[in-house]
């Protein structure tokens, strides 16, 4: 059979009710996008010249002069800003002319890796995504780089699994949806513009078993984060799942032999294709980001102090030049630490107030990997944070599926929202 010809983008018809915009469609579209961005995040993105598009997922990078790693952020913008300042990526709050919301990179050629889990457990998820992307643009302009990677919570949200979403998180996405629809309306008023895709088409409007007051937030979140959704495509699709910088391997959960044999670049490319919707709007996440031993879920080398160091050494030996695996995902109540002769480095300190309000710490690697240290909060400021030592930590609840701090509070146990499907 003959392949179906690719349908050309639909153009808004010129009519007495739709101005033709006479050579201004691009300007109108840019205005609408800037209007939505600022309304949602309070941030303007540079448009003259336009910012370079995010690169395709990068897998291997040379060692920079300074390398920084920051753990899970979980929807907490104020605490994330504290960690970014601690790493020297943002000006100090006391610096002349600096502001609490500054997006100006202050670390020159530093390369910073954020270990994923930007989403869930807090109410600043969108503002965090926008902020990190704006800061990455500022970093690139100064010869540096800010590279978040994907965590299990990004994978869960693209899959429609909202078990760790908070009411505040739903409210933030409801607000985004209102502004996004307003942007669509602006673009539709200008004849000659390519008709933008409506991400809300095919998304359920009712969610039985959940309080009606949360339906709009759930629908908005599904539309934004489904494969090829506007937030997923813009902020998540270009993030790597695994990143190797010099002799350091960065991965949210961990790697096993089968992952390396499958190919790290192949994993990055296929996960990116899935988030872009190129595997189908309702395609399931690739198997190597699903399940207990997946690269974003594994805890084999991040939990406890009795790891299988021989196995870890063998896995690192499969990656040319690799000396250490840097991981997030599992909260370290004692702060950033390392086992197996510093071959397994664990950097998730439970930073977010929705996940323990842990003491901000960051990892710094200098000298091409020869000088590794932890930068911790000044003792004069440490009193305001508490180490997370509850009877059941967020990590333990997540492992057992006993989710009681997010959307599960709103849903009967037999109706936990997990993997909601949106029709294409």
| pLDDT of 116 above 90 | yes
| pLDDT of 171 above 60 | yes
Task: Say if residue 49 is preceded by a cis peptide, omega within 30 of 0.
Answer: yes
| pLDDT of 393 above 90 | no
Domains recognised in the chain with CATH numbers: 24-91+102-378 (3.60.21.10)
Q: Which two tokens stand for residue 22?
A: 């006479």
pLDDT at 378: 84
Q: Which residue has the higher pLDDT, 189 or 145?
A: 145
Q: Does the annotation mark 153 as catalytic?
A: yes
- HEC sequence for 327-379: ECCCCCCCCCEEECCCCEEECCCCCCHHHCCCCCEEEEEEHHHCEEEEEECCH
pLDDT digits over 20-70, tens only? 565 666 788 888 889 899 999 999 888 665 555 555 688 999 999 999 999
| pLDDT of 12 above 50 | no
**What is the reported pTM?**
0.86
Q: Determine the average pLDDT of the residues in 376-398.
A: 62
- Catalytic residue (one of 74, 153, 252, 329): 153
End-to-end CA distance of the chain: 24
Q: Which range among 15-29, 117-131, 175-189 has the greatest average pLDDT?
A: 117-131
Instruction: Give the Å distances, CA to CA, from 31 to 26, 36, 194.
Output: 9, 9, 15
Please state which of the ranges 44-48, 102-106, 158-162, 269-273 shows the lowest mean pLDDT: 44-48
String of b and e for 142-153 (b: at least 16 CB within 10 Å)? eebbbbbbbbbb
| pLDDT of 122 above 80 | yes
Q: Determine the average pLDDT of the residues in 255-281.
A: 93
| pLDDT of 100 above 90 | no
| pLDDT of 6 above 60 | no
pLDDT digits over 133-144, tens only? 999 999 999 999
Sign of CA dihedral 253, 258, 264, 269: negative
Q: Which two tokens stand for residue 322?
A: 């690799």
């Amino acid at each position: 059979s003959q392949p179906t010809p690719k349908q050309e983008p639909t153009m808004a018809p010129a009519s007495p009710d739709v101005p033709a915009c006479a050579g201004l469609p691009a300007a109108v579209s840019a205005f609408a996008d800037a209007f939505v961005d600022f309304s949602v995040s309070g941030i303007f993105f540079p448009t003259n010249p336009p910012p370079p598009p995010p690169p395709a997922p990068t897998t291997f990078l040379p060692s920079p002069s300074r390398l920084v790693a920051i753990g899970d952020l979980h929807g907490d913008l104020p605490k994330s800003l504290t960690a970014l300042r601690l790493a020297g990526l943002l000006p100090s709050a006391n610096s002349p002319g600096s502001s609490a919301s500054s997006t100006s990179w202050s670390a020159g050629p530093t390369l910073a890796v954020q270990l994923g889990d930007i989403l869930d457990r807090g109410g600043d998820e969108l503002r965090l995504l926008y902020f990190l992307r704006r800061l990455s643009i500022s970093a690139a302009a100064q010869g540096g780089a800010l590279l978040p990677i994907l965590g299990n919570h990004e994978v869960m949200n693209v899959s429609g699994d909202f078990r760790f979403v908070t009411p505040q998180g739903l409210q933030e996405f409801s607000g985004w949806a209102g502004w996004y629809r307003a942007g669509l309306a602006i673009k539709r008023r200008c004849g000659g513009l390519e008709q933008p895709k409506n991400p809300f088409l095919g998304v359920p409007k009712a969610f039985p078993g959940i309080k009606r007051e949360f339906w709009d937030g759930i629908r908005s979140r599904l539309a934004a984060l489904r494969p090829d959704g506007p937030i997923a495509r813009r902020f998540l699709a270009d993030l790597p799942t695994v990143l190797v910088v010099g002799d350091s391997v960065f991965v949210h959960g961990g790697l096993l032999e089968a992952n390396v044999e499958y190919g790290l670049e192949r994993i990055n490319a296929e996960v990116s294709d899935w988030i872009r919707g190129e595997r189908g709007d309702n395609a399931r996440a690739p198997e190597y980001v699903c399940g207990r031993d997946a690269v974003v879920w594994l805890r084999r080398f991040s939990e406890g102090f009795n790891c299988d160091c021989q196995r870890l050494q063998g896995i690192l030996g499969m990656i040319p030049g690799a000396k250490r695996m840097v991981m997030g995902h599992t909260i370290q109540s004692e702060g950033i630490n390392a086992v197996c002769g510093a071959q397994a480095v664990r950097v998730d300190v439970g930073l977010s107030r929705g996940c323990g309000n842990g003491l901000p710490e960051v990892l710094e690697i200098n000298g091409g990997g020869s000088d590794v240290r932890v930068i911790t909060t000044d003792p004069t400021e440490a009193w305001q944070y508490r180490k997370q030592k509850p009877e059941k930590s967020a990590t333990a609840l997540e492992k057992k599926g006993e989710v009681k701090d997010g959307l599960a509070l709103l849903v009967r146990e037999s109706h936990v929202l997990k993997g909601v499907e949106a029709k294409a």
